[in-house]
Chain A
Amino acid sequence: MRSNIFFGRVALGVYLIIFFGYLLGPLLVMGLTAFNSAAFPSITPWQCYTYEWFGVLFQDDRILNGIKNSFIVGIGTVILSVSIGLAASLVLTQIWPRWRSTYYTIIIAPILIPGVVLGISTLVFWRRVSEVFGGNAEFLNNGLFLTIIGQSTFIASYCMLVFVARLQRFDPGLTEAALDLGATHTQAFRKILLPFMRPAIASAAVLAFLASFENYNTTTFTFGSYPTLTIELSQMVRYGINPSISALAVIIVVLTVFAALSAEVYRRRSKIKSGELKPRKGLPAWMVGNVATILLVLLSFTVISMAYTAQAYSPAECKAEYREARRLENQAKIEALRAAREAARQNQAPVESGPQAPASQGAGAGAFGNVFAPGNLEGKTGQDEGEVDTAPPPASPFGNVFTPNNLEDSSGTKGN
């Protein structure tokens, strides 16, 4: 029996590790690529620790412009979809029972309709409407307007669900009492319903903003001449990328973690205030003995110290070393080639067009180059420097580091 429980626990642990590895592993890897100096986002040929991609990110006008558009769209979508969602949920509580399920089906449908369909239908519909108005309704074809409308169509459904959940705990007797005591409907709404709904409104607004910020499927049809951040990212991902995208992801993840931890700290604090939780003894008062606070402080400290060292830190030296290692590695290869040719008794050794010379493998250099190969230094002394510029980069991601002949050949050329 006991071994059974033990087995169950191990299985659960393994399962949790796999699940969270699947969920978080890709983000972790992407985060690491932001600090690798390789021009293509990758970690396996680790070159140099660098902050340069953050600099590249902040100088990219398209990204900055995309962020600006995303914020405009996000704010518009939040306003529109929160108010629609609130109205729709209030109507849902009052609608005639006979119509209720039809009504619910219609307002839940936008969640289930594929995003591309929503984008297309919005585009087609407003194009028609602006045709009806003739030339003086150009704003109806404006990318920002269309994107806000298209996104709100389904984000309002999300908001509506949040409000419905909260409304289930609302006591309509409160509003009735207020009305009986002479409050107007607007007063009752503002003084009673709205304060009760405030937490739900806050979470619906956050949800709406996030959903709008990351939306791609709908926006890709409606953005017109106002590409949002997601659109810019998708174009970067498809047509040539560098790790500045990863740098952006790192920033988003850090902000997310920061927000999540702050929310947790806030929750704990209000619980302690209301007496539900007791603060642990022996800790400073601001820490109120919970893990989230400590993590939050640690995170802030890490970010600040990283930003600070980024001012002074320069990977130039490491990069020079890396280049040197690559150069030596190439040289070793050239010599290997040359030795092979010599052995075959050929007078000419056209290194540039050699059959083993692959082109354009810039990013695929070995992680450690040939730095540690003993033949390297010897080979270097035996050769003139002129060969280096035309040398082909190494073929496989690991260069020829692991092929034994490499060393023999390069040291063999020394004798020539």
Chain B
Amino acid sequence: MKKPKLFAAYFRNNGLLLGGIMLFLVSVWIVIMILLPQIFMLDYSFRPNPVNLRPGEMADDYTLKNYRYLVFGPEGASGMFNTVDLMVFVRTIIAAMLVTVMNLILCYPLAYYLGQSKGTGFLRLLVILLVIPYWINEILRAFALRIIFGDVGVLNGVMMSLGLIDQPYDFINADIALYAGLGYAYILLMLFPMYNVIESLDRNQIEAARDMGASWVRIHRRIVIPHAKPGIASGMTMVFMLSAGALAAPQVLGGTSSLWFTQLVYQWFNDTLNWQQGAAYAIVLLVASIAIVLTFMKIFKVNMGDIGK
């Protein structure tokens, strides 16, 4: 066996005490904090809720009924499918994708500008200005947008005093506030990975392409974007996962008639107190968003190792 030897090399390099502490910390993190909780949650999602067991069913039994509920609704329901929850799910995924693409379009020019300009005082000021909103609480950021988009909010006030509209427009129920809030919440996670990779692009490449007569569009398509691909993928992955899993912005900015999928999970846990059902919903959300990210990474040929750089 090779392994004992390798462990011996590890301890020779780090010493018994330090190596032991490091190994202990890492295994606590990986096993007790990352892997086991997910496995337990998966297990939990296959258990019936002990409060409303069917006759003959034990609390320790495994069952698929939590997942069945998401697809077909409660037993004996009139419809074929649980259209309400399924629609919420589909809407969440699609809206999260839209938010991701919106952020990409909004951030790319700035990332390019910041990455390709020489580090002047003005640029440092821009970076400081960028970071400030990120230090503000997520709830407060959503709340700030609510002040702007609310019924008696700033936007309605301004538009009404200009005479553009005579009734307050309901931005909240039209979900405009929600999309703006989600984009706002995670915009920096799109910007900084792209900025980092574009900064590492050699300016001479662009100069050379320009000298040889490449058009502006062509320079971006053939040089900048291929170089920035890991950063773009990293940013898009993070924005998509975080907005699909967002809870604060939908709770503060969401309309009364439309829910975000995480709000359903929250309701199962905190209002209905059916944790097993909530765990099943959470698993569905987790698996679906990971599957989507992996699919897109496959299509655009990006490696997992690029994420987070």
Interface residues of A (CB under 8 A from B): 12, 15-16, 19-20, 22-27, 29-30, 33, 40-45, 83-84, 87-88, 90-91, 94, 96, 101, 104-118, 120-122, 124-125, 128, 149, 152-153, 156-157, 161, 184-186, 189, 210, 213-217, 220-221, 229-230, 233-234, 237-238, 241, 245-246, 248-249, 252-253, 256-257, 260-261, 264, 290-291, 363-364, 397-398
Contact = CB atoms under 8 A, between A and B. Distances in A.
B136 interface: yes
B140 interface: yes
B50 interface: no
Given A114-B245, A217-B248, A397-B160, A19 B110 contact: yes
8 contacts: A84-B28, A105-B304, A121-B282, A125-B41, A153-B33, A189-B18, A252-B136, A397-B160
Contacts of A117: 38, 41, 245, 282-283, 285-286
Contact of A87 (B26, B131, B238): B26
Contact of A217 (B246, B252, B305): B246
Interface of B: 6, 10, 13-19, 21-23, 25-26, 28-30, 33-38, 40-41, 44, 106, 109-110, 113, 121, 124-126, 128-133, 135-148, 150, 152-154, 156-158, 160-161, 184, 187, 237-238, 241-242, 244-248, 251-252, 262, 265-266, 269, 275, 278-279, 282-283, 285-286, 289-290, 293, 304-305, 307-308
Most buried by B among A16, A260, A261: A260
Contacts of A215: 138
A190 to B, nearest CB: 10
Q: Is the interface of A mostly helix, strand, loop or mixed?
A: helix
B308 A111 contact: yes
A257 B128 CA distance: 8
Q: Is the interface of B mostly helix, strand, loop or mixed?
A: helix
Contacts of A241: 143
B282 A116 contact: yes
Contacts of B266: 116, 220
Given A29-B147, A238-B251, 11 more contacts: A23-B130, A30-B140, A44-B157, A84-B26, A104-B305, A114-B289, A152-B33, A234-B252, A238-B252, A249-B143, A397-B157
Nearest to A104: B305
A264 B248 contact: no
A322 to B, nearest CB: 17
